[in-house]
Amino acid sequence: MERRRSVISGTHCSQTLLLLTAVFSLLGCAANPSIRPLSGRHFGGTLPEADVCDTAASTPSPADSPSKASGEAQNDPVDSSRVDLASAVAENDAVVATREFVDLLRVDSAQEDEEAAGQATQASHGGAQSVDYFVGIALSRHPKILAARNRVSAAVNLIPQARALPDPMFSNTFWPIHDQALQTAAGRVGNQMSLSQQIPFPQKLDAKASIASHEVRMAQAEVDAIEREITESVRLAYYEIWFAGRAIEIIQETRELVEDLTEVAEARYRSGGSQQDVLRAQLEADRIDDQLVTLRQQKQVAQADLAALLQQPVDMLPETSDQLETASSPEQLEALIALAEQCNPTLQGLAAEFARDRSKESLACLQQYPDLTVGMHWGLVNDNHDVISPVANGHDNISFTVGTTLPIWRSKITAGIREAASRRSSTAQRLEAERDSLYGKVRRLAAQADALIQQRSIYENRIIPRTEDTLKLAISDYRGKRADFFSLIETYRELLMFETQLARIEATLAGTIAQIDRTVGCPAN
């Protein structure tokens, strides 16, 4: 029986839709594999040419610290290096938590931007503010921080991409010249359609998702580091403004004393004293005016620096509070080091990078296992009058295919594993070097803070009170003509110098604590 079909019939269309629906349902299930945690033993040194990823090898706990892993990389023999293929590097809970964190980060950033707009308007109209006030504005709107937060958001969106299957492949083969079409026993083939999907080895997608999740942690550590940097810059500029303002206040207070000394010198000159004392007193007033010009310029420069950090016009003149809220003493050295181990963003970023390299090492080891390809083919057959086969019945051809890659180039796979192991070892050594450098810096800053605290106590309790008493006696002796004006001026200059030095010590101490906070990553006290 002959059947002429120039187009696809309705029955064939229904069959096609049913088949395509079934195939895509299978692909959808395969695109969401269960996430299982991976753990892997670290490689160290060179790797053997064959069997470098033994599934029967024992594996350490995933919670092993990078420093411990570094020691294994140096001390474990080559033959004992193994990676457990039954493990997966991605952790679904960590990925979900990362997504929730970024969503919260976006909401918090929007709220902070709204609050910062009002705060910046208030600051631009002047008024003394605390350092935390300006830090909050800078953290909410500085471009470097916003850019780093966007990088975190971008990194989070890499996780579903890494976990997803490759795009399926659809193809349609047809013969435009009727007489040259492919013919089978069932009839002439008008079209051949195929649908295929590559399915990687089950744990490869998990490993890629884990790599992406660790890169999110690295991006977040970068955000934390930039926030610490901006916070330190704001605090240092704030303390410089405070010092300049405090020094101006001290000099203006002492100017009244110089005016009193000038009146005493003029009284002595009228009673037969030397005119030289009057000129020296006037010269001292001129020196004070010169110092005020320098300090006002210094304060304006610091105010411009702070305004730039706050993303405000440079003509904005932020003012500081009268007193600095500095700690009496920072934490003990051991406590600072413990805080640095927990909070320092550079260490946290390197730890995340080390975990990412471990995941890459596991992924490189998984490359020795094949990937699958499944597919379906449908051939549209017709049995019109000019077919060759005498038994043509027009039945369509439907077939399924299963393919696999052949990872036979072992040298390439082994080289990839060695590369990943070397990068992991390099990151572990960088982490140890950064930890040593961090501990040394914390020790130096802690020693500097202790010295400044001792100096502040000496100036407040001993040097300045005794200088004030000396100045009072010098003024009394000068009025009673028992001392010359030169000794009086020298005592006055010493008092001015000591009070200014005390203000500088307080500002330097506050700046040192700000550096400790940035180095440690958490507030030092």
Domain presence at residue 399? no
95 in any annotated domain: no
- Domain membership of residue 377 (yes or no) is no
Confidence of residue 57 (pLDDT cuts 50, 70, 90): very low
With a CB cutoff of 8 Å and minimum separation 6, the contacts of 207 are: 38, 88, 89, 90, 359, 360, 362, 363, 366
* Whether residue 5 has pLDDT greater than 80: no
Q: For residue 221, count other CB atoms closer than 10 A to its CB.
A: 23
Strands, E assignment, 73-161: 128-129
Q: What is the pLDDT of residues 354-406, one digit of tens each?
A: 999 999 999 999 999 999 999 999 887 777 767 776 766 767 788 899 999 99
Q: Band of the pLDDT at 62, cuts 50, 70, 90?
A: very low
Question: What is the number of structural domains in the chain?
Answer: 1
pLDDT tens digit string along 123-173?
444 467 889 999 999 999 899 999 999 999 999 999 999 999 999 999 988
For residue 405, the model assigns a pLDDT of 93
Read off the pLDDT of each residue in 453-473 and give the average, rounded to a whole number: 92
Q: Provide the domain limits for residue 414.
A: 131-165+200-370+406-520
Is residue 211 included in any domain, yes or no? yes
CA pair distance 383, 158, nearest whole angstrom: 51
Higher pLDDT: 118 or 61? It is: 118
The pLDDT score that the predictor gives to residue 506 is 93
Residues 6+ apart with CB under 8 A from 399: 376, 377, 379
Torsion 478-482-487-491 (CA) sign:
negative
Does residue 224 or residue 380 have the better pLDDT?
224
* pLDDT tops 70 at residue 10: no
Mean pLDDT of 287-312: 90
What are 63-109's pLDDT values in tens digits? 344 444 344 434 443 333 333 433 333 344 444 444 444 454 444 44
Q: How far is CA 316 from CA 244, 299, 304, 319, 518, in A?
A: 17, 12, 7, 10, 26
Handedness of CA 424, 428, 433, 437 (dihedral sign): positive
Structural domain includes residue 209:
yes
98 vs 216: which has the higher pLDDT: 216
Domain assignment present for 255: yes
What pLDDT is attached to residue 479? Answer: 76
pLDDT on residue 329: 56
- Residue 120 in any domain: the answer is no
Position 314 scores a pLDDT of 62
Position 48 in a domain: no
Ranges 268-282, 302-316, 331-345, 502-516, most confident: 502-516
Give the single-character DSSP code of 49: S
Q: Which of 8-22, 73-87, 231-245 has the highest mean pLDDT?
A: 231-245
Give, for 234, the enclosing helix (H) or strand (E): helix 202-270
Predicted confidence (pLDDT) at residue 326 exceeds the cutoff of 70: no
Query: How confident is the model over 419-432, as a mean pLDDT?
Result: 96
Q: What CATH number does the domain containing 344 carry?
A: 1.20.1600.10
